[in-house]
Amino acid sequence: MTECSATKPVKLADPKARPREGQRFGWSARGEWVLLVVLIIIFSVTGFIPAWRHLNSDFPNYYLIARLYRAKYPMERVYEWIWLQREKDHQGIDQRLVSFIPSTLPSALMVLPFSSLSPLNAKRCWLLANLAFLALTAIVLGAITALKARRILLLTFLTVIPLGHSFLYGQMHIFVLLLLTFATLLYFKDYPFLSGLILAAAATLKIYPALFLILFIFKRQWRAAFGLTVGLSSAAMISLYLFGRDTCLLYVQEILPRAVRGETIDPYSVGWNSLSALLRRLFIAEPELNPLPVMHAPVLYAFLHPLIHGFVLVAFLWAIGSKLHERGRGKIEWASFLFLLLLLSSQPGPYHFVALILTAALVVDYLLAHQQRIKAVAVVAMYALVCGPLLRLPGIPETGWSNLLFFSRFAWMLLLAGLLLWILIGLSPESLSSRFNLRTSLIAASVLVALVVAGFISNVRHLKAQFDNYQSRVVTVADSALATDPVVTTDGLLFTALVPKSLPSVPNTYSVYALREGSVSSLSAGLDWFHPTSGGDATRAWAELATRGGSRVMRFARASPPNSADRAMVEAADAEQPVASPDGKLLAFIREVKGRNSLWIRQVSTPVAGTTGERQIADSLYDVREAAFFPDHRIAFSSRREGRFRLYEVDPVSEVIKEMSVPTCSARYPAISPNGGWLAFSCGQRGAWQIHVMNLRSREQVQLTEGDCNSVSPVWTLDSKSLIYATDCGRGLGLTALAGLNVVR
């Protein structure tokens, strides 16, 4: 035997073997542990500990809805800004502002088991549950990938800002991440139907997981598509049972369409850092929220929005490919599609990006398995930047083209999108030339053209007439979030407003404002004041003050604004939404019992024949929403009965209630002209509310506003020729501004 033949046999490398942990990123294990500890400390100090100590938003929103549901309140009102704020005050929840737009009602049921606790204790229970959800997510990621626990935790806590925000605000996104991760495990363990069911469960909390149906259809994964469809259908049926038909229809017809378009809260806020918000800031003006875009060009927005979205969608689907590939590539395709949904989201909050933990884990695991370490490092770097803080440039205004400097997260998202596309294309088993053939190019181009044309037509229709109210705005306050419930007085206008952030000396609450001689001033501060009213003279007014345990109607002298409750007199206890008669002798108001309203009247001045003290003139079976006086003291009111709104009139002396034969639409917000000749109201049409007027003598009706938005709360000017109303056209859903209309010429 020769010397060579005596040597030991060569041990071949196992093709399935993975590099040692310390070699994968080129980092030492010790360095990774140090970074992980630093990130956990940052998360604890900036996220978990403050969340444990304070309510913050958005947990009080979910908690309040859960309490109202538990107390059997009607759920169709939870999307009304002022109604929900009033209920928050009555419940004594220590949170300045609440809103449930655009959340789904099932999301509130997640905290239902804790709703009997105090708000802060309920949040602490929810935080502990979220820690458990996060731990379970890490365990499931370990079952899906070959990453060690240290790497999974490192990728998890690199989302330190989204993760911290999710805990700080008590959001649902960590549980959604758990469901997405579990659905991924089931899908790649060959349980596609169950995977679809789990995605449907996630979609009941946050809508975007439902869009995995696009991926399943594109990849011809019919069992997964069927499971998702069955799950969504079952969720819809359960929602109908739990919340009722009217509430579900309200969400589908009024809330969801505006949410998909990014028209909830402030659609112009740079905080969203989305394509929708960027294009709005560049090409759509709004007198208060975005007064200085590059240009007011809604048609350009209507074209660019579907063009860019459509191009990104088609590019990702083309890179993913419709053919089935090896299992590992399927994971990166799944991860890329999840990333795509966040990229195309119209209003992604920082907490949404905890979902990228799943994307990062799947992509990094795939790249390391294929010896693509440099790409893995690049993905982690882009991922960290996406999940990092937004860039804020001091001294540069958020106007014109300067807006581009404030969308750093969206820029990092685009770079990460390009990197993922490069990875998908580079690792494809098909050659680039074979994928760029005439057939696939024509299909991709046709799909893109169809998406752009359909999106452009939809946007143009949606934006039509949205901006007509700009030239007739009655009052404009920079950054004002909401103005509503206008009341015309002899010397100006009273209205309810959500105090703008530009007035730092005033707490961020609802207040009564006055407009006199072009000057705006606050008449109340420190607590929630709603629904001002005035009648008879210019010296006194009334408003609702909402506090713990209930609301009160307060009378105050307009020359001496009620900056505190001590400076106003209680006119009526347990009373909401006051309305004064034109002569100031009668006051109508609402009393609520578990969300259902009765209408009451009381004498406030010289006695009127047949009236003494307080009297109920319409019981809670009518569920009265708004009321208005005729000059002769008759009252018109709106009532929600049998799933629609109707208008009624009642004589306070005889107390006989009659339904108005017209209008025949679902009608709210009645307003009687001072001369008694006209009725103004809002009519519900195809998920929007529009102002109509009717001649009370001829019964002739005219629609005055239009648009895929809401115009509500009309009030007549003293000459009975014009209206002032609240509109959210060009703004966020329910976040109205005040505008005027000429009616009688």
All residues at 6 or more sequence positions from 563 whose CB lies less than 8 Å from its CB, including other chains? 524, 525, 526
Is 691 in contact with 736 (CB distance < 8 Å)?
no
Low-confidence winner among 151-155, 266-270, 385-389, 504-508 (lowest mean pLDDT): 504-508
CA distance 462 to 456: 10
Report the range of poorest mean pLDDT among 403-412, 450-459, 472-481. 472-481
Say if residue 414's pLDDT is above 80. Answer: yes
Contacts of 721 (CB under 8 A, 6+ apart): 742, 743, 744, 745
Summarize the confidence of residues 472-491 as an average pLDDT. Answer: 87
pTM for this model (two decimals): 0.91
Is 45 exposed, middle or buried (CB count within 10 Å of its CB: 0-12, 13-18, 19+)? Answer: exposed
User: What is the per-residue pLDDT across 558-580, written as a single tens digit (0 to 9) for each?
Assistant: 776 666 566 678 899 999 999 99
Write out the H or E segment, with its range, that includes residue 123. helix 119-144
What's the CA gap between 566 and 576, in Å, rounded?
18
Please tell me the predicted confidence (pLDDT) of residue 587: 95
| 501 pLDDT higher than 60 | no
CA nearest to 357, candidates 215, 169, 124, 179: 179
**Domain-by-domain residue ranges, the chain?**
269-463
Where does 548-634 show beta strands of DSSP type E?
Answer: 550-557, 569-573, 576-580, 586-593, 596-603, 614-618, 624-629
For the beta sheet containing 624-629, the strands, ordered from the edge strand earlier in sequence to the opposite edge, are 624-629, 635-641, 644-650, 657-659
Structure token digits, residue 649: 């009139």
**Whole-number Å distance between alpha carbons of 12 and 195:** 39
Q: Residues of the chain with pLDDT > 90: what percent?
A: 73
Nearest to 258, CA basis, from 570, 675, 688, 630: 688
pLDDT tops 60 at residue 503: no
Contact between 675 and 631 under an 8 Å Cβ cutoff? The reply is yes
Selected residue with higher pLDDT from 475 and 353 = 353
User: Going by C-beta distance under 8 Å and a sequence separation of 6 or more, which residues neighbour residue 11?
Assistant: none
pLDDT one-digit tens code per residue, 197-226? 999 999 999 999 999 999 999 999 999 999
- Could you read off the pLDDT of 38-66 as tens digits, one per residue? 999 999 999 999 999 999 888 999 999 99
pLDDT (average), residues 155-175:
96
pLDDT at 504: 45
Give the least confident one: 112-121, 314-323, 467-476: 314-323
Give the pLDDT band (50/70/90) at residue 29: confident
Mean model confidence pLDDT for the chain:
89
For residue 537, the 8-state DSSP code is: S
For residue 743, the Cα-to-chain-centroid distance in whole angstroms is: 34
For residue 565, the model assigns a pLDDT of: 60
Element counts in the chain: helices (H) and strands (E): 23, 23
Give the whole-number percent of the chain exceeding pLDDT 70: 90
Does the structure show a pLDDT above 60 at 500?
Answer: no
For the cut 80, the answer to whether the pLDDT of residue 429 exceeds it is: no
Cβ count near 517 (within 10 Å): 6
In DSSP terms, which residues pair with 285 in a beta bridge? none
Say whether pLDDT at 26 is over 60. no
Whole-number pLDDT of residue 21:
42
C-alpha–C-alpha distance, residues 367 and 370, integer Å: 5
Q: Measure the CA–CA gap between 197 and 208, rounded to whole angstroms.
A: 14
CB–CB of 484/461 below 8 Å? no
Q: Which long-range contacts (CB under 8 A, 24 or more apart) does 686-689 make?
A: 686/253, 687/253, 687/254, 687/257, 688/254
pLDDT value for 18: 47
Higher pLDDT, 117 or 95: 117
